[in-house]
Chains A and B, each alone.
Chain A
């Protein structure tokens, strides 16, 4: 068993439905295999009194010919499993082969085969099977073939989409470059790597096959020389009044087997994609807290945002992952802060924590957030005043956000104008239609979206236009603080620069406070006064922009601004691997970056570094911060430009 399979199995068994269904399935399999040695009467033996209700002697009673029903149910399991395994295997075999060919070769081959898959979607399959079996005679092998003949397009579609993603992979390309023939590449590389979801789907196929066979048998089209559950129910129907147990027992058996297969498939699917079980959902009710006593009215120099010791933890199964692990910073009114780090460092989680839009499996465990001097989060809990959460009162009117990947951040089925209108009217219920339209036009003009595009749906806009629409949406209510989360990802370079330039421009014009979250030092350098570098949930260095490029005092910052490829490689996604596992973090006492740091010493591995203040708002969490700070980066004044090149 491969490690992945073992892991999937463990995860499957970890859930109650998974464990239960696997157990039921295995018991049924074992019983079916052990049928000959269980000491049951011959299932065809008409040896007993007719129509005996269940009793100590015949646990499930006897049928119209005096046969023992328990024994027939047990032997019937063999037939059901034969059909299930036979049909599923055959279907997967045909489907994977054709799906792989379609996906691999593409072009007209794909067109033709996809058409064939489509046709099968449009055929009433059960009826087709019925027709085949009715016309060609009822036998188990024919039934299996007929089921496979109508279900293979299901596997084929799955395999096709797998192959489409697989065929660009390096090893496939390498094999081809080495001169391997196509069929060999398909059989050796493509199918084995794409088969996992198809096999998972196999459990569903098995369930379908069993139900189909049972349905056929129930219509009198089962194999007559075999004891099948469907044909037992078929027989039982005629004796429903006299001997209801004849149809009850095989039906329960059918239900158990098919349900266990379907549940198992479901559980495996969840085990392979854990987020399927928990993603989405309504926002969780969280414990709240009252406003702190003695809050003073905000003064002109009150910072727009103060964050103190913020900690955000994700729950993934039994594990707890600290994505934000004690972050503090202050953003003055009108200021701009760039938060930089690689994916998985916790920067986006930090962004979501500020707006309280984090997913349900995330939780603030500690920390305070103050907006314009008033606490909106206290001790990790949202502050509620007069029955309303303070953050809710700030949303969009004072604090808005520009989400990454605007394609999905805008409602795809509503026009851009309509979305702005909805937001506007939500917060300004009294606004007239004309006023609203005028305001929208104003913002559009400001952002540089032609008025003709106002009624477009998001998908009808180019990437840059869409991102502008997102910015327009965020500005519609004239907020004081905008949190821009990777606003330029997935845009081409030219557009990125334009958008970043526009954000910087707007900030000045509207006196916005800005937090710009990005993986890209260059992007941040252009738009922000201060840059915070995050690594593994912590701000490892924070400094005014010029300073951080000129005298980076943390080795990680140096790797970020250098043109070097990352030393650590991208950290894995939070769901699959922790940025830091809190348990692990507690056990480890050293510097988080030590494992990848070229300058790490024993001290680094032994003790967590303190926050070293380097003056002028420059702080670095490194034992050797002062040494690094003293040593300017190679081309201090050209730093932003260099970082920009690095992006290219």
Chain B
């Protein structure tokens, strides 16, 4: 039985593919959808299906493309006024709902206004919106009550989760976006139409032949719920589906194994995120800038890269990430590894080695994600070598997060975000920034960051952000360690997934599969 069943299964599997010469794509996802209405709240299980059923106004994934602020989805083009307060979008004239009705600017206005009324998650991206007007069926004008250079990129990036456009003619009579017949049998305007939802296992979609950008290559799209990374991996290796997204990815150390396997392509995707160290400035020793500098010297990114990432990550020496290269100030650079220098600085800072060999003690924590786990483990080692008595202090994800919010930590690994707009620096480093866990405060930086968000002249903006990076690297409330890189696995012959260059401008959100082509299409 053990021997025969797989062969039988394989034969059964192969049959439909050969007979119909259709492309069926199975996409694994970790969570079962809660609903198929994307508006009310972020739903990790629903994003996959809904991102392919619905369209967005503009959209962008978490930062894989250089210099692009947003992709137009329903919006064919847009203009921004000089004072960065008026945004005029032109919609695609051929866009149609799956029931055959045309998509109009009223749909956009209806959707955004209802989101704001209901206070849904996406409303936080629309916070500065004063009015939405629809001069004609193809034009949407959004006016802000104050200049915000980050509006478009932030809204585009938020749109892929909860900012999808609903058809007004079907939803106008419903309460919110969470009641009525279309919650779980959605009618959208995206590249795939809803077919059925087998609760607990799969959501099945089919190609929308009338999609305004042309029918997709994939005929049948199935989102299969596989909560477990081990299962997903085993099934991927067994050839059950062609793409193992990064959220399931095995340890980077195994990358050489996959790279050596001709049946698997390893795809690395840069992101807007870094891995960095947040230093709590309230700590007796870490409050001293010399100590922070010493830690920067004590840290050996190359060793970390070798031990933890198979040398495949890019060490982060700047206060930015190279996927947002245009905003990086290359003159503001964190020091390279120099243990002797670190010890010297620590001596100068007034923390000589004690009789037991230790200068002071720190606890190192971080989120419960595998790369931070590796970084902190190695960091502890490296700090101990220069006489800092470092210890690990790990928690589950939410405890860790509440602790760093309450500033109950010494050093924490963190996933700093630099995009999609450099306004992210304000969030991280300004005194009242939502992600300023370090208790860092610099008057000049506060002022610069607030102002830079309102400046539309790119050159002036860049200079301001350059200065911000200088200040941050000078004071080192945090130390950049690596640029995040996502590893996904793809079967040969398949292309166009969101993480692959061919998918960057076609599949446009993490969950989009519009650009995907299978091996049959390639022939």
Contact = CB atoms under 8 A, between A and B. Distances in A.
B254 A242 contact: yes
A64 B257 CA distance: 14
Contacts of A224: 392-394
Contacts of A134: 396
A63 B317 CA distance: 28
A598 interface: no
Interface in B389-411: 391-396, 399
Contacts of A220: 368
Interface in A213-247: 220, 224-225, 238-239, 241-242
Nearest to A42: B381
A64 B392 contact: no
Given A65-B378, A239-B251, A242-B257, A50 B307 contact: yes
A225 B396 contact: no
A46 B251 contact: no
Contacts of B393: 224
Interface centre among A134, A138, A220, A225 (most CB of B within 10 A): A225
Nearest to A47: B381
A225 B391 contact: yes
Interface string B280-322: 0000000000000000000000010011100000000000000
Given A46-B378, A50-B253, A66 B395 contact: no
A220 B303 CA distance: 25
Interface residues of B, number: 22
B185 interface: no
Contacts of B394: 138, 224
Interface in B248-265: 250-251, 253-254, 257
Contacts of B396: 134
Contacts of B307: 46, 50, 64-66
B377 A238 contact: no
A239 B254 CA distance: 8
A298 interface: no
Nearest to A65: B307
B257 A241 contact: yes
Interface in B436-488: none
A241 B381 contact: no
A129 to B, nearest CB: 16
Interface in A51-96: 51, 64-66
B382 to A, nearest CB: 9
Interface centre among A46, A137, A239 (most CB of B within 10 A): A46
A64 B310 CA distance: 10
A455 B368 CA distance: 68
A44 interface: yes
Contacts of A238: 250-251, 370
B36 to A, nearest CB: 33
Nearest to A137: B395
A241 B394 CA distance: 26
Interface string A134-147: 10011000000000
A589 B469 CA distance: 106
Contacts of B374: 65
Classify the secondary structure of A's interface with B.
loop
A138 B365 CA distance: 13
Interface in B186-236: none
A224 B390 CA distance: 12
Contacts of B391: 225
A242 B255 CA distance: 10
Contacts of A242: 253-254, 257
Nearest to A224: B392
A65 B254 contact: no
Given A46-B378, A65-B377, A66-B307, A241 B392 contact: no
Nearest to A44: B381
Contacts of A46: 303, 307, 378, 381
B392 A225 contact: yes
A610 B17 CA distance: 103
Contacts of B303: 46
A241 B393 CA distance: 29
B395 A241 contact: no
Given A224-B393, A225-B392, A64 B381 contact: no
Interface in A121-142: 134, 137-138
A64 B373 CA distance: 13
Contacts of B377: 65
A134 B250 CA distance: 25
A94 to B, nearest CB: 28
Contacts of A66: 307
B13 to A, nearest CB: 24
Interface in A238-273: 238-239, 241-242
B378 A64 contact: no
Interface centre among A44, A64, A134 (most CB of B within 10 A): A64
A138 B393 CA distance: 9
Nearest to B237: A241
Contacts of A64: 251, 253, 307
Contacts of B257: 241-242
Interface in B358-384: 368, 370, 374, 377-378, 381
Nearest to B310: A50
A415 B69 CA distance: 89
Interface in A101-130: none
Contacts of A50: 253, 306-307
A51 B368 CA distance: 23
Interface string A18-52: 00000000000000000000000000111000110
A228 to B, nearest CB: 13
Contacts of A241: 254, 257
B373 to A, nearest CB: 9
A139 to B, nearest CB: 9
Nearest to A221: B396
A51 B303 CA distance: 15
A239 B253 contact: yes
Contacts of B306: 50
A239 B253 CA distance: 8
A121 to B, nearest CB: 29
Contacts of A225: 391-392
A239 B303 CA distance: 19
A44 B254 CA distance: 22
Contacts of B253: 50-51, 64, 239, 242
B361 to A, nearest CB: 12
A51 B374 CA distance: 15
A65 B391 CA distance: 17
Interface centre among B257, B378, B394 (most CB of A within 10 A): B394
A65 B377 CA distance: 9
A134 B397 CA distance: 11
Contacts of B370: 238
B256 to A, nearest CB: 9
A530 B377 CA distance: 89
Nearest to B396: A134
A231 to B, nearest CB: 11
Nearest to B377: A65
B235 to A, nearest CB: 15
A134 B308 CA distance: 26
A134 B394 CA distance: 11
B152 to A, nearest CB: 40
A135 to B, nearest CB: 9
A91 B93 CA distance: 76
A66 B303 CA distance: 11
Contacts of A137: 395, 399
Q: Give the 10 A-B residue pairs with the shortest CB-CB distance, closest first.
A: A224-B392, A65-B307, A225-B391, A224-B394, A225-B392, A238-B251, A242-B254, A64-B253, A46-B307, A46-B381
Given A45-B381, A51-B253, A134-B396, 19 more contacts: A44-B381, A46-B307, A46-B378, A50-B307, A64-B251, A65-B307, A65-B377, A137-B399, A138-B394, A220-B368, A224-B393, A224-B394, A238-B251, A238-B370, A239-B254, A241-B254, A242-B253, A242-B254, A242-B257
9 contacts: A46-B303, A46-B381, A51-B253, A64-B307, A134-B396, A137-B395, A138-B394, A238-B251, A242-B254
